């Protein structure tokens, strides 16, 4: 109590008190991309405001006898910035009150947001390596050099290089964009997170953004991590294209998060699209996903290697001509070729199911049928 009496409240202390709500904005601008940090700071600030508020109330109660109304009014005014602080925190991004309040009013419908829990898909990628991918040697070298930097950002910094923060893979469907991202994550020993639009987008205002933040947050916790953004054009569509408001908000939020990744160490973004021209320029500008890597359809030699790769898993009739297969699949993607080989295996299974004995052999006929079905489906 003695201590309370020694404090005198004045206009100056009132002004100082306004530093408390401003504190909120100060760390929010600095740490907005780290919701865990914000939550902690918000909590500390809320406790601070509550303690200060209690002290002022006690002081107010002990001085009410004096009936000096000016002083009493000044005491009450000191509560204003503290109440303001608590109000801002309860509405803010790091707030845990906001979520609870929303749940209470939103009932079961809020589930889609509350249930979104991004998890690393490390299990899915753990067996993948460069040997599973047939890509151009120069492309492989380019990706490998990105990975070397990724694994060792400190060395990169010693050379004065900024470790790259993200790439955009552009190519037709089935050319291995997703697989490349997985292989990079696995061989660099990083966790793998996928941003799936249908999981993130919610009909609730602002919740898609929260989901995005959750994803980046989870990746940060599991860093080093790769965040793979598939079909990035669906979120990063050029704003000039007259996109919808929600998409624009989400894009802006994504841009901010990507900038956060630039600051954070151990996070890397790989985005993929079939239409790089539709991806918003802001996302492609320097410092973000400025490196666009083209993933073309495989040429003749690559198709041959793809057949070799996927037919190696089957026991083939000797003397099969791979050159012909590669020749006949001009314009087909690696995924198509994988499918043809798989279908050939199925054909063999069906064919041998009719007979008495199984040889488990895929014949030229099985492959030809698979190819014909694929090239000109009935
Ligand atoms: N270059 C490649 N070498 C070997 N296999 C490949 C290659 N590209 C694709 N595949 C195989 O094809 C399948 C589909 O590939 P993936 O999903 O990576 O393609 P994508 O480019 O991401 O396609 P989309 O644009 O439709 O998302 C995978 O099972 C993968 O193993
Ligand atoms: Mg893909």
Q: Tens of pLDDT along 7-37?
A: 788 889 899 999 989 988 888 877 766 666 7
Q: Is the pLDDT of residue 99 over 50?
A: no
Mutation probe of ligand 1 site: the residue of 138, 140, 175 with most atoms within 8 A of C-beta = 175
| Ligand 1 pocket test target in 130, 138, 176, 233 with most atoms within 8 Å of CB | 176
Interatomic CA distance for residues 184 and 100, integer angstroms: 39
Asked if pLDDT for residue 253 goes beyond 60, the answer is: yes
Task: Domain ranges for the chain, please list them.
Answer: 2-95, 114-294, 300-375
- Exposure class string for 114-130: b at 16+ Cβ within 10 A, else e: eebebebebeebeebee
As for ligand 1, residues whose beta carbon falls within 6 Å of it are: 133-135, 173-179, 272, 274, 306, 334-335, 338
Average pLDDT, whole number, for the chain?
81
* Superfamily of 114-294 according to CATH: P-loop containing nucleotide triphosphate hydrolases (3.40.50.300)
pLDDT in the model for residue 239: 60
Please, which pLDDT band fits residue 114 given cuts at 50, 70 and 90?
Answer: low
Question: What does the pLDDT average to over 140-164?
Answer: 79
Please tell me the distance between residue 176's alpha carbon and the centre of ligand 1 in angstroms: 3
Closest atom of ligand 1 relative to the 274 alpha carbon: 25
Q: How far is the CA of 126 from the centre of ligand 1 (A)?
A: 16
Query: What pLDDT score was predicted for residue 1?
Result: 65
Q: What is the pLDDT of residue 338?
A: 93
Q: Which of 130, 132, 133, 179 maximizes ligand 1 atoms within 8 Å of its Cβ, making it the mutation to test the pocket?
A: 179
Distance between CA atoms of 190 and 225, rounded to whole angstroms?
5
pLDDT tens for 44-61 read: 999 999 999 999 888 888
More confident residue, 110 or 245: 245
- pLDDT above 90: residue 75: no
Kindly report the CATH class assigned to 300-375: mainly alpha
Ligand nearest to the CA of 342: 1
Q: Where is pLDDT greater, at 280 or 80?
A: 80
Cβ–Cβ < 8 Å for 343, 370: yes
Quick check: 240 pLDDT over 60? no
């Amino acid at each position: 109590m003695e201590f309370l009496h020694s404090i005198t409240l004045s206009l100056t202390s009132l002004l100082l008190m306004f530093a408390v709500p401003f504190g909120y904005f100060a760390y929010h601008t600095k740490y907005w991309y780290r919701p865990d940090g914000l939550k902690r700071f918000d909590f500390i600030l809320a406790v601070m405001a509550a303690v200060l508020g209690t002290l002022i109330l006690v002081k107010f109660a002990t001085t009410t006898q004096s009936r000096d109304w000016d002083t009493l009014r000044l005491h009450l005014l000191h509560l204003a910035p503290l109440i303001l602080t608590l109000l801002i925190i309860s509405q803010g991004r790091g707030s845990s009150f906001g979520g609870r309040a929303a749940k209470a009013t939103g009932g079961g419908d809020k589930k889609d947001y509350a249930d979104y829990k991004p998890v690393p898909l490390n299990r899915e990628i753990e067996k993948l390596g460069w040997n599973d991918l047939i890509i151009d040697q120069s492309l492989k070298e380019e990706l490998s050099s990105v990975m070397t930097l990724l694994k060792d950002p400190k060395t990169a910094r010693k050379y004065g290089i900024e470790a790259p923060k993200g790439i955009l893979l552009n190519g037709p469907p089935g050319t291995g964009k997703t697989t490349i991202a997985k292989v990079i994550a696995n061989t660099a020993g990083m966790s793998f997170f996928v941003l799936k639009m249908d999981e993130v987008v919610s009909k609730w205002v602002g919740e898609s953004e929260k989901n995005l933040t959750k994803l980046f947050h989870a990746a940060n916790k599991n860093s080093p991590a790769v965040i793979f953004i598939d079909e990035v054009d669906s979120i990063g569509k050029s704003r000039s294209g007259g996109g919808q408001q929600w998409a624009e908000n989400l894009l802006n939020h994504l841009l901010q998060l990507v900038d956060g990744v630039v600051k954070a160490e151990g996070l890397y973004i790989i985005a993929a699209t079939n239409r790089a021209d539709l991806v918003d320029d802001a996302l492609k500008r320097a410092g973000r996903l400025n490196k666009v890597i083209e993933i073309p359809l495989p040429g003749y030699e690559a198709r041959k290697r793809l057949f070799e790769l996927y037919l190696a898993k089957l026991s083939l009739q000797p003397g099969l001509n791979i050159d012909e297969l590669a020749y006949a699949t001009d314009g087909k993607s690696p995924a198509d070729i994988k499918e043809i080989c798989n279908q050939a295996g199925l054909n063999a299974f069906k064919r041998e199911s009719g007979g008495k004995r199984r040889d488990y052999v895929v014949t030229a006929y099985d492959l030809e049928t698979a190819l014909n079905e694929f090239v000109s489906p009935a």
